[in-house]
Structure 1
Amino acid sequence: MPSESRARAAAAPLPGPHAALRAGVVWEVLRAALVRRAEAAGRQALDVLDTGGGSGSFAVPVAGLGHRVTVVDPSPDALFALERRAAEEGVADRVTGVQGDTHDLLDVAGRERYDLVLCHGVLEHVDDPAAALRAVAGALRPAGGTVSLLVAGAGGAVLSRALAGRFTEARQVLADPAGRWGEGDPVPHRFTVERLAELVGAAGLVPGEVQGVGIFADLVPGSLMDAEPAALQALTSLEAEAAALPAFQAIAGRLHLLAGLPGDQ
């Protein structure tokens, strides 16, 4: 199986309005979670860990809110880009890059040190998602913390394969416990809300708020948004309204779930 960094790169969405829309949907939930976590901790500045954080698409904005962020990523190139990005945004003193992955996460980042852990685009690319999530949970402060998970959704893959006329592959996603459409699928794991909640529970965490991400955005051609200036805003509003509805989460390209320690909900 390919390494985490190479697998994520192979499956990463192309930049553009679709990617910005997906990030925006997650960011709004994440920003609210940071406020709640800071209030619960009684501190303005939190310690945040971003595992698989790459060049800092979330880490740098989080640091911009005044929090201290440690990014763990296996790619030296990504960490170099992170350093440059943090410097350009004036938050270099609040962002630390460390080379590593989920296998040695607690060795390189520390155990029980963080108020919030971001695990975005990681679980679908590791050999053992359950072990990876246990490591993520181990990084949380025992006094209370939040995990933000962003994973590939199985339902979205079924829908996209079917709309592309690849009906056999769509059926394979439905039948495969890992949610893959075949040997050529670059994503080793996809998740339903139920499977993700089971993983969270097995890691000793309590699942909380869930959102569907990329419900419609992954299906709308970019040419439409280029031709209609108001289309992106309208699509953003539609995504936000549908994100919390279970019926639409079931067909989302990605699932975003917040989880916490027992007794800390």
Structure 2
Amino acid sequence: MRPRASLRTAVVWDVLEDALDRQVKAVGRESLDVLDTGGGSGNFAVPVARLGHRVTVVDPSPNALFALERRAAEAGVAERVRGVQGDAHGLFDVVGRGEYDAVLCHGVLEYVDDPAEGLRNLVGALRETGTLSLLAAGLGGAVVARALAGHFTEARHALTDPSGRWGDGDPVPRRFGVEQLTGYVEDCGMRIGAVHGVRVFADLVPGVLVDTEPGALDALLQLEAAAAELPAFHAVATQLHVLGQKSAEQPG
């Protein structure tokens, strides 16, 4: 039986694994150098390392980096995972420019002071050809979730707030629409490879239904995968995933 946590990562992981495979073919090497910013305890870094790639995780939390080290050791990939303390704005204090084949930026732009500048730094860490995996909170998903919970004033506030927040108690500092995210990526000189809606339905379906109905989790995962690439559902996704591609002839 699949763990319920797979609802949060399945679509992104499938897209990322395919993108890394394509990057391997593009560079002609079996192993890539991957930078995971804000990678925390290694939810993506460790599986990427299991594929044979070398992963550098940059995270501001010492506790998260300690958990990463333990998790990598337990998975048998400690030699391919390196954790360093830092953040997107001070990225080049801890890693070099132009040293990576792929950069993961998952759940980071919501928290940085200047998302455009932070993303420019991340793209600057890529080699002449490279892949960016960008995952960030979606505005529409938060509006729908607050409305379905009966918090209509908060839903309207999120809809009109410049940062997409539903109120002072909102734990997420910033949310994005598709055009805003893709605009950031294109402004860095990258080509948009794909856009996916993540957790379109998962956060709206009662947990008891998924946990008790036979086959419900697998069916929901298949539904999420089917809806992920359809633009009509991007506007109501809890998260948005953008793949950016940098090539030698592009600026940035």
TM-score between the two structures when normalised by the length of structure 1 = 0.91
Identify the match of residue 102 of structure 1 among 62, 66, 88.
88
Give the % identical residues.
66
For residues 147 and 192 of structure 1, the distance between their equivalents in structure 2, rounded to whole angstroms, comes to 18
Give how far 1:22 is off.
Answer: 1.8
**Is 2:82 the counterpart of 1:91?**
no
Give how far 1:125 is off.
Answer: 1.1
Matches within 5 A, 1:236-247: 236-247=221-232
For residues 234 and 60 of structure 1, the distance between their equivalents in structure 2, rounded to whole angstroms, comes to 27
For residues 53 and 211 of structure 1, the distance between their equivalents in structure 2, rounded to whole angstroms, comes to 20
Give how far 1:204 is off.
Answer: 2.4
**Is 2:210 the counterpart of 1:218?**
no
Give how far 1:167 is off.
Answer: 1.0
**Is 2:33 the counterpart of 1:47?**
yes
Query: What do you get for the CA RMSD once the two structures are aligned?
Result: 1.1
Give how far 1:208 is off.
Answer: 2.0
Which residue in the other structure is 1:9 paired with? Answer: none
Q: Which one has the bigger helix percentage? A: 1
Give how far 1:228 is off.
Answer: 0.9
Helix, strand or coil at the partner of 2:97: coil
Quick check: 1:37–1:145 contact (8 Å CA) kept in 2?
yes
Moved segments of 4+, more than 3 Å: none
Which residue in the other structure is 1:4 paired with? Answer: none
Which residue in the other structure is 2:42 paired with? Answer: 56
Deviations 1:83-125 (A, max 9, x none): 0111111100000000001121122021100000000000011
Which residue in the other structure is 1:3 paired with? Answer: none
- The residue type paired with residue 177 of structure 1 is P
Counting matched residue pairs gives 247
Helix, strand or coil at the partner of 1:115: strand
Quick check: 1:106–1:138 contact (8 Å CA) kept in 2?
no
**Which piece of structure 1 moves more, 206-215 or 168-177?**
168-177
Which residue in the other structure is 2:178 paired with? Answer: 193
Give how far 1:206 is off.
Answer: 2.1
**Is 2:233 the counterpart of 1:253?**
no
Deviations 1:215-264 (A, max 9, x none): 00011111111111300000000000000001111100000110022557
Where does the alignment leave 5 or more consecutive residues of structure 2 unmatched?
A: none
For residues 192 and 247 of structure 1, the distance between their equivalents in structure 2, rounded to whole angstroms, comes to 13
For residues 242 and 145 of structure 1, the distance between their equivalents in structure 2, rounded to whole angstroms, comes to 27
For residues 260 and 125 of structure 1, the distance between their equivalents in structure 2, rounded to whole angstroms, comes to 23
Helix, strand or coil at the partner of 2:118: helix
**Which piece of structure 1 moves more, 58-67 or 177-186?**
177-186
For residues 248 and 29 of structure 1, the distance between their equivalents in structure 2, rounded to whole angstroms, comes to 17
Which residue in the other structure is 1:175 paired with? Answer: 160
For residues 165 and 61 of structure 2, the distance between their equivalents in structure 1, rounded to whole angstroms, comes to 25
For residues 243 and 231 of structure 1, the distance between their equivalents in structure 2, rounded to whole angstroms, comes to 18
Identify the match of residue 235 of structure 1 among 215, 220, 224.
220
TM-score between the two structures when normalised by the length of structure 2 = 0.95
Matches within 5 A, 1:103-118: 103-118=89-104
